[in-house]
Amino acid sequence: MDDIIAATGMSASGVYRYFGGKDELIEAAGEESMAVFRALFDRLRHTEPVPDVTATIAAIVAPVGGGTRDYDLSRVAIQAWSEALRQPRLRERTGDFHRELRAQLTALARRWQHAGLLAPEASPEAVGIVLATLLPGMLVARHAADPVSVDRVLAGLRGLTGIDQHRMPPKH
């Protein structure tokens, strides 16, 4: 809440004149952050040439909105996700947004495949699921722990790709 109110440049009482309460303010802030992410994905999907995986992930986990530490809508998105656990209406919107995120990432994966940046046998749907699942964790790490570089994440994913082929025999 403090982040949201501080970003407005108004006092708490001034902000609450425009909203019926904390839940309404959180919902509005969550909607704003989702709108900014939607615009980002729309831009990524239509950029020519298609941005590669590294550039895409870097763009998604970069500060969102004003681009500063003080006003970064990805922080608001994280707060909205936690509020979605207790607010059914926000949970529904957050679920819709996450499904939309997966669809956008799947569309990007298809473009990567067409551009030769993703193996022909790779499943764009599976890539979309992995990235949509991974990105919230990267945002949380950036804001609440130690940021993880895109290169390190991609190196880890590359390491996982052969996990079934290099299965170790069980120890007895």
pLDDT tens digits for range 1-54: 566 666 556 666 665 666 666 777 777 777 777 788 788 888 888 899 999 888
Q: What are the structural domains of the chain?
A: 2-160 (1.10.357.10)
Rounded CA gap, 168 and 77, in Å? 40
pLDDT band with cut points at 50, 70 and 90 for residue 116: very high
Q: What's the pTM?
A: 0.74
CA 91 to chain CA centroid, Å, is 16
Rounded CA gap, 67 and 46, in Å? 22
pLDDT band with cut points at 50, 70 and 90 for residue 149: confident
